Structure 1
């Protein structure tokens, strides 16, 4: 309980910001869904066949898995709040359309005939008779849609859309139950509160309901204007992949930039997503820079000429080739890398390695039938990951499960799996008593991290390039592992760990 309270106090700023983001995207999606579904239901209510078809269509849309829908939207509209907003609108259409359609269709024909007898026009009947009678059912559909939206909106964090999903994902990644619980409880609380408010509207007069909707639209509109005005000031957006290490690095970047230019407005987007998300976000201008690794560039982000043998490149040659191809193919620039290697690795428990005499990846051939692997989805799909293991080592494991990064460590600790992919600087290796198997056939390339940005950004901000280049050749593997341990195990904030390193090594003044 103390851990929960301490985490709540420590993260209150993030909780407030994420809650506001969650409310904004949820209510925006609700209003858009209402603007589509309600008029559509009104138009087709007297055309039964068309209405039935639309009910089927909205029903089918709601069955599309949320992750699949987000994946389909990203190539079209990019990442951020837009794909999340579209997905939420899609899911909200069915309950609103269905209840509006049913509410209007089931009005007593005698009432309709009386309204016609009084000489009411179609529009007047709709406003004065039909909508007021159907309003309780319509609002019930709106309430169902909003509860659905608020729960589903946590997935927005997977595509950089913000909201309370940030806290949930961060808690999962850091194995911080309190943080995950705070995000989940906040989301559930929002659903309960807004459901109760809509329930009150259901009992109110139509005029009151209309005024509330107008106030809601004005409020969201005002907030959007405020955000646009705030965006007039140039913002330097730094994003990081999932995990403690990227979080530490982006905090270092931010602190170095602020030290070089105290007026700079820096926004951090930690746990922004996987490699492809960040790379696409950088190319589309949604973020300005993020930490990337030389080996990842050559294996996943650029097309390497067939004349280049990546396995024979030195660490410096890997960086030079990665930077050259980024500039040529994507107009991006990778700054000078840090010292430590954060290469991929395969790891097993020390007890398992000792029992079966495992020292190298090739040794896994001896226990191949016993292997139960848990790999990240990214590792499974990469040429320098499981695909490379199969090609270079001839190892096809009988059981391979795709897992989120932090979950695979929990799984191997509980003996549900016995082989995982890891990064060589992961603090969990020591925490869970794991041993890294030697890459005896040199599958995994050189991985040194450095800030990746567009060439245009680098040219426009030479002072930022100078500030970030202070990290070139710095941070040993032992230092990075120790910092990861401070965040993951000691539960220290990435910002404080980053600051301590920079101050200790004279890159930042102690009072910054």
Structure 2
């Protein structure tokens, strides 16, 4: 397998870059969407329950099925891959953001309002900072989950290391088929660990010192 890696190191490195790029961009987009939705619903118990239900149901949709549905309107390529990965990336973040925002001590919110802070100021200076550790936990879960889903996106000719895995699986028993599958899988696991470590470090830098665990 080592010889296989050395012979194809440039291709593997390029596909690894594509994979990380797809995951990072989709997680960022999914986080923005999820936070916007959470801000809209967290004050309403009914809307909160609906958002939690949508996130739970959404995670039960098989990635292959969703990608297959997206083929009809968008065809093969990057577009269905980005839509599917972003969809799955947003779900854990949405759930955690709603829980985090709804769980902020109401006495702190009322105190902030009592000293003359506007609703938007309370949101950005009190509620979101206090909810951030819970939101970040959702982002970490989302990132780990979509690392694997991004590999499945190779089914619609999406970018990334999934191409190596699918190529190997389609040639099982042939030359280097097992090496191709193993290299793609191991590379995804290693990249997932690296991204999780970076998120842990980001959490240490962005979480207010007073609420760090």
Task: Give the match for residue 415 of structure 1.
Answer: none
Aligned equivalent of 1:84, options 81, 85, 91: 81
CA drift at 1:93: 2.1
Gaps of 5+ in 2: 209-213
- Tell me by how many angstroms 1:170 deviates: 1.6
Is 1:101–2:110 an aligned residue pair?
A: no
Matched, 1:31 2:28: yes
Residue number among 100, 124, 127 corresponding to 1:127 in the alignment: 124
The answer as to whether partners of 1:140 and 1:202 remain within 8 angstroms in 2 is: no
1:404-451 Cα deviation digits (max 9, x unpaired) = xxxxxxxxxxxxxxxxxxxxxxxxxxxxxxxxxxxxxxxxxxxxxxxx
Matches within 5 A, 1:22-61: 22-61=19-58
How far apart in 2 are the matches of 1:119 and 1:140? 31
Q: 1:71 to 1:205 in 2, by over 3 A?
A: closer
Cα distance, 1:89 vs. partner?
Answer: 1.5
Contact 1:66 1:87 in 2 (8 A): yes
Q: Residue deviations 1:443-464, cap 9 Å, x none?
A: xxxxxxxxxxxxxxxxxxxxxx
Q: Who is 1:118 aligned against?
A: 115
Flag the structure with more relative contact order, 1 or 2, with Cα contacts below 8 A and sequence separation at least 6.
2
**SS of residue paired to 2:145:** helix
- Counterpart secondary structure, 2:59: helix
Residue 159 (structure 1) shift: 0.8
Q: Offset at 1:137?
A: 0.7
Select the structure of larger CA radius of gyration.
1
- 1:183 matches 2:180: no
Deviation, structure 1 residue 162: 2.0
* Among candidates 3, 16, 21, match of residue 18 of structure 2: 21
Native 8 Å contact 1:79 1:159 kept in 2: yes
CA distance in 2 between partners of 1:53 and 1:31 (Å): 23
Which residue of structure 2 lines up, in the alignment, with residue 165 of structure 1? 162
Describe the SS at the equivalent of 1:63: coil
Deviation of 1:54 after TM superposition, in Å, equals: 1.7
- C-alpha distance in 1, partners of 2:153/2:194? 21
Aligned residues: 204
How far 1:25 sits from its partner (Å)? 1.1
Give the distance between the partners of 1:205 and 1:182, measured in 2 at CA.
34
Which residue of 7, 13, 20 corresponds with 1:10? 7
- 1:80–1:161 CA contact under 8 A, matched in 2: yes
Contact 1:136–1:203, Cα closer than 8 Å, also in 2: no
CA deviation vs aligned residue, 1:441-500 (integer Å, no higher than 9, x gap) = xxxxxxxxxxxxxxxxxxxxxxxxxxxxxxxxxxxxxxxxxxxxxxxxxxxxxxxxxxxx
Structure 1 residue 206: deviation in Å? 5.2
CA gap 1:111/1:188 in 2 versus in 1, 3 angstroms:
same
TM-score (norm 1): 0.39
Q: Quick check: 2:133–2:207 contact (8 Å CA) kept in 1?
A: no
Structure 1 runs of 4+ aligned residues shifted over 4 Å read: none
Aligned partners of 2:87 and 2:202: how far apart in 1?
A: 24
In terms of fraction of residues, the more helix-rich structure is: 2
Query: 1 CA distance for matches of 2:60 and 2:188?
Result: 22
Q: Structure 1: which 5+ runs fail to align?
A: 208-512
Mapped contact 1:80–1:160 kept (Cα < 8 A) = yes
Contact 1:25 1:81 in 2 (8 A): no
Instruction: Quote the offset at 1:174 in angstroms.
Output: 2.9
Are 2:156 and 1:140 aligned? no
Partner of 1:458: none
Aligned residue for 1:279? Answer: none
Q: CA RMSD of the aligned region, Å? A: 1.3
What is the alpha-carbon distance in structure 2 between the residues aligned to residue 20 and residue 5 of structure 1?
Answer: 20
In structure 1, C-alpha distance between the alignment counterparts of 2:81 and 2:55, rounded to whole Å: 18
User: For each residue in 1:6-34, what CA deviation from the matched residue of structure 2 results, as whole angstroms up to 9, or x when unmatched?
Assistant: 00001111101111111111112111211
